[in-house]
Each structure stands twice: as structure tokens, then as C-alpha cells.
A and B are shown apart, each in its own frame.
Chain A
Amino acid sequence: MHLVDLDRVSLRYGEDADGTLALHGTTLQVRDGEFVAVVGPSGCGKSTLMKVVTGLWPPTAGAVIVSGRAVTGPLSIAGMAFQNPTLLPWRTTLANVMLPLEIVQPHCSRLRREWAAYLAKARDLLALVGLKGFEDHFPWQLSGGMQQRASLCRALIHDPTLLMLDEPFASLDMFTREELWLVLQDLWLARKPTVILVTHDLREAVFLADRVLVMSARPGRIIAERAVASSRPRKLDMTYEPYSVGLVHELREHISAARSGAT
């Protein structure tokens, strides 16, 4: 059963024919519970792909089907984390994490009645990513890595079946990034949502994903895909094993081919 099914999707920004064509004939399927990473040269339309899948932008052509239904507007079954943590500065960490509960049904109408249960859930989630004790801090009192952890919690609090991650670790240093890979893997193993991760870090893609998709330069479409056959849970050392290194090299070649093909 495919949770996400894109059939020859194109997207052009702007209303006339000379607008930027960001996606062209992108076909992509993601199974229920699968962890997929999308890599590609910069500006290839990876972020656009995220916006199309979550319904933030309607495609210019082609069909987007999520969970068996054509996507016509923003999806409430999706959780999203962005490159910037985008936490609301006037809310504490806890209030930020609980934001989706105030909007997404059925939580929205239950929130007041089952406040204690939801509060406990948010606290548990924060503890899981190592933010215990920072619930009442404001975003500006947290480091970049901590903000990104809180942002992950916010994407997960309403138990989305589809988790969309748009380069969530791109602005972090390598050590923090690797730490968060492990956090994300734990979260995924515990709940098994379907994940689409957009990234330009090939090690990250190989470490986290079941399947890595390579996008061409703009206008983007999927030009290659590789399954990652390592067992779970993976350890960071895994990225230095010959198998993974080989995969990273292979993906790298696809991307440089895609880049030179564009110019």
C-alpha cells in the first residue's frame, strides 16, 4: 500500500508560461511506514516537492495522492519540520510543541477536556529528544540544536502518519547533526510514521533512509533510487562501513552527473 503516490507531477511558479518550472514529470511512490530520503543538487526543487506533497502548493499538472485521496489542500495527517526551527518566539518550548494540537482535529476539540494527558504527552516527547527541563524556556533561550529538537517534537505531537522533513539539520554543526540523526531514528522506530526527508547530506540520507531518491537539476524529477539494506537500529559507525561509503559515492556520482547535465 502506497501512502504517497505522485504521478507525473509538474509545478511552475508564477501564473504565465515563463514562470520557473520547478518540477517536471516527477513520479514517486512511498510505502506506508517507509523512510525515504530525497537528495539532489541545490535548487533542484526538493523543497517544492515537499510543498506539493503536503498540499501547500497545488501542482500545475499531474496527480498527488496521499493516503488514497487526491490532495487538494494542506494535509492534517502530515507533520512538517523545516530547515529553520520556526518556533513562535512568544511561546514557551512546551506551548510551541503543543501548537498543532490547537489546530488539528480530533485533538483540537479534545484538548481542553484531556489537557493533562496531552501535556504529559508533550513532556514525554520533549524528554525523548533530550529537552527535559527546558519546557518553560522560550525559543531564544535555546541553542540552535535544541530549537531543532523542539521543532521535531512539534512535527510529531499530533501523531502524523506522514512526516515531512525539509533539511531539518542543515544549519547545525556535524556533531549536533549526528546526535539528532540518532534521535530521529529512535523516534521513527518507536512510531513508524512514513517519512520523507529532503537533504543535501548524502551520509545523512544513507544513515537514515530505507530508500534514497536522487533528483535531477531543475526542473526536478527522480533520476535514480537506491535501497539501503542495513539493519535497524543503525549506529553512526555504519556510515563509515564500506557498504555505506560505496553508496554515498554512487549517489554522489549521480548528483554530479545531474549537475553537469544541467549546465
Chain B
Amino acid sequence: MATTGILDDTPPVRRRKPFLLRRKTLRHILPWVVIVGIFLIWEAVVRAFEIEQFVLPAPSAIFASGWQWREPILVNAWQTFMTTAIGFLLAVAVGLLAGIAIGSSTLVYDSFYPALIGFNSIPKVAVVPILVIWFGVGTIPAIITAFLIAFFPILVNVAVGIATVEPELQDVLRALGASRWQVIRKVGLPRSMPYFFASLKVAITFAFVGTIVAETVAANKGIGNLMLVASSRFEVPLAFAGLLVTSVMGIGMYLVCAAIERRMTGWATRGADAMLRGQG
């Protein structure tokens, strides 16, 4: 053992990098750097080529207009947010239940899948006028559009998660005399949760698209309507401000979904987490 003394008496001292260069810090800062960078380049391009404001307004003009119209923007953003949230929650409930039903049986899966694909291929903009005929102009067509566009990815992901449960895992429960429902509850559902939460992140952004599309075509409130009115009056910076607010809401909801996902399905993303921890 004496000969190894040289090797093991001094543990290697790793000097910590300065705060701003640490990988973890970078991971939090870089997204903001990218966003600010995009705005700076945008501003520079608009000024350098002297682009007219009604073609492409500079970010400074967009922010100014957003501040000037902050009250109507907030009111309409709230309307859009609530519409999206209701449509999204409906999509989560229906998508989860239908996904379980379809994923639990190969027969149901095979029977319904072609019809669902066909339904999902319909552009949802085309459905809005029909919804207006049924429900009139207003919030309800927007909620339904958000729901229609968001429930499909949730349904497909849950169904796939349940349908692809390893037969070995099913055998563990079946050998104990578990009922079909017990197998779904103990294995199928937990197993499909990573798929479910991944689909939520897609679905929430889809839901915003659905709401805004419906508001643009047939509504008297909401960010979509605000943008339509603004561009018809050549208030292009205001239309862009509406876009910006929508993006911010989309990012916010995405982050909420991602945070829930991390909490609920840590077991499925352990590889990525361990990697980050190891390097952080």
C-alpha cells in the first residue's frame, strides 16, 4: 500500500469556474441572450434598410405600441388565455379518457385509429365557420377549436403509451390474477405518463393556435380579434404586439406543463437529469 501513497493522498482539486461561465448558469442565461439577440438584429435590420413600419415594425415600435395600448391588450389577452385554458383542460380530460379506452384494446385501437387520423387531417380553420353556424360568433367556437386541435396529440400519446406496455410487465400482474382494469391502472397508466406529459407541452401551444385562429375568423374579443382590427387599421405595430403577447403566454403555459412533467415523471428522464447533475 505504501507505493500507492503518492496517488491517493492528494485528491484532485477542481477549481470552480467563474459564476458566469458555469454550465448551469449558462443554461439559464442563454435563452434570454438568444431572445434579446433576435430583437437587436431585428431592430438593426429595420433601421439599416429603412423598412416601412406597416411592412415590418421595429421591436422598439412594437413595445411602444404595446405599452400605449396596454389596457385593451391585457383585457383581450385574458380573454384568449381563459378560452385557451378551458379548451386545453377539456382536451386533457377527453384525450386522457379516450386514450385509455383506445390504448387498452387492440380491437378498439385498430377500429378507431383510421377515423381519428382522418378527423385530424381536417384543417381546423375550415371547421370554425361551421361552429359559428352552430354556436354563433363568440367564445364558444374558440373554446371548441382550441379543444379540437389540442386533444389529438394527447389522445395519441396516451393510447400509444398504454398499447406499448411490455408484455413481461403485464405478465407480472396477470400472474397475480390482476383484472384488466388493475393492469391498466398499475402498469398502463403510469407507463403512459411520460408520453402524456410530453403531449401536454405540444397540446398547450396547439390550443393557443386554435383559439387565435377562431378569434381571427369569428369573434369580437381576444388577441386574434385585436390583431385583426389592428391590421385592418394599419396599426401594424399593435398587431405585432398581439403576436408577442401570445408568444409570452405560450411560453408561460409550456413552462408550467414542463414543470409538472418533471415532478411527475422523474423516473423516465433520469438519464438527462443525471447527466445535468454530473456536469453541473
Q: What is the interface of chain B mostly: helix, strand, loop, or mixed? A: helix
- Residues of chain A within 8 A (CB-CB) of B268 are 89-90
Would you give the shortest CB distance from B58 to chain A, in whole angstroms? 50
In the complex with contacts A86-B168, A89-B267, A99-B186 CB distance below 8 A: yes
In the complex with contacts A90-B267, A103-B186, A56-B176 CB distance below 8 A: no
Partner of B174, one of A74, A90, A104, A158: A74
A82→B178 contact, CB < 8 A: no
Would you give the shortest CB distance from A71 to chain B, in whole angstroms? 11
- Residues of chain B within 8 A (CB-CB) of A88 are 169, 172, 186-187, 190
How many inter-chain residue pairs (CB < 8 Å) link A and B? 61
A68 at the interface (CB under 8 A from B): no
- Residues of chain A within 8 A (CB-CB) of B187 are 88
B175→A80 contact, CB < 8 A: yes
B168→A100 contact, CB < 8 A: no
- Residues of chain B within 8 A (CB-CB) of A140 are 267, 270
A99-119, CB < 8 A from B: 99-100, 102-104
A78→B175 contact, CB < 8 A: yes
B267→A138 contact, CB < 8 A: yes
B172→A74 contact, CB < 8 A: no
In the complex with contacts A88-B187, A88-B190, A103-B182, A82-B172 CB distance below 8 A: yes
A82→B186 contact, CB < 8 A: no
A73 at the interface (CB under 8 A from B): yes
The docked-state distance in angstroms from the alpha carbon of A13 to that of B172 is: 20
B173 at the interface (CB under 8 A from A): yes
A42 at the interface (CB under 8 A from B): no
- Residues of chain B within 8 A (CB-CB) of A102 are 186
B110 at the interface (CB under 8 A from A): no
Interface size on A, residues (CB 8 A): 24
0/1 interface trace, chain A 234-256, chain B, CB 8 Å (1 if under): 00000000000000000000000
A56→B175 contact, CB < 8 A: yes
Partner of A103, one of B168, B173, B190, B267: B173
A76 at the interface (CB under 8 A from B): yes
B190: nearest chain-A partner, CB-CB = A90
- Residues of chain B within 8 A (CB-CB) of A138 are 267, 270
The docked-state distance in angstroms from the alpha carbon of A54 to that of B175 is: 7
The docked-state distance in angstroms from the alpha carbon of A78 to that of B265 is: 32
Partner of B178, one of A103, A154, A158: A103
B147-172, CB < 8 A from A: 166, 168-169, 171-172
- Residues of chain B within 8 A (CB-CB) of A56 are 171, 174-175
- Residues of chain A within 8 A (CB-CB) of B191 are 90
A76→B176 contact, CB < 8 A: yes
A83: nearest chain-B partner, CB-CB = B168
A140: nearest chain-B partner, CB-CB = B270
A75 at the interface (CB under 8 A from B): yes
B171→A84 contact, CB < 8 A: no
A76→B172 contact, CB < 8 A: no
B31 at the interface (CB under 8 A from A): no
A104→B176 contact, CB < 8 A: yes
- Residues of chain A within 8 A (CB-CB) of B182 are 103
Would you give the shortest CB distance from A139 to chain B, in whole angstroms? 9
B187: nearest chain-A partner, CB-CB = A88
The docked-state distance in angstroms from the alpha carbon of A158 to that of B178 is: 14
A37-86, CB < 8 A from B: 54, 56, 73-76, 78, 80, 82, 84, 86
- Residues of chain B within 8 A (CB-CB) of A90 are 190-191, 193, 265, 267-268
B177 at the interface (CB under 8 A from A): yes
The docked-state distance in angstroms from the alpha carbon of A73 to that of B178 is: 10
Partner of B169, one of A75, A86, A158: A86
- Residues of chain B within 8 A (CB-CB) of A100 are 176
Known contacts A88-B172, A103-B176, A104-B177, then 17 further A-B pairs from the complex at CB < 8 Å, ordered by chain A residue: A56-B171, A74-B174, A74-B178, A80-B175, A80-B176, A82-B168, A82-B172, A86-B166, A86-B168, A86-B171, A90-B190, A99-B173, A99-B186, A100-B176, A103-B177, A103-B178, A154-B172
The 9 A-B pairs at the shortest CB distance, nearest first, are namely A76-B177, A80-B175, A74-B177, A90-B267, A103-B176, A90-B190, A103-B178, A86-B168, A100-B176
Q: List 13 A-B contacts (CB under 8 A).
A: A54-B175, A74-B177, A75-B175, A80-B171, A82-B168, A82-B171, A84-B168, A99-B172, A102-B186, A104-B177, A138-B270, A140-B267, A154-B172
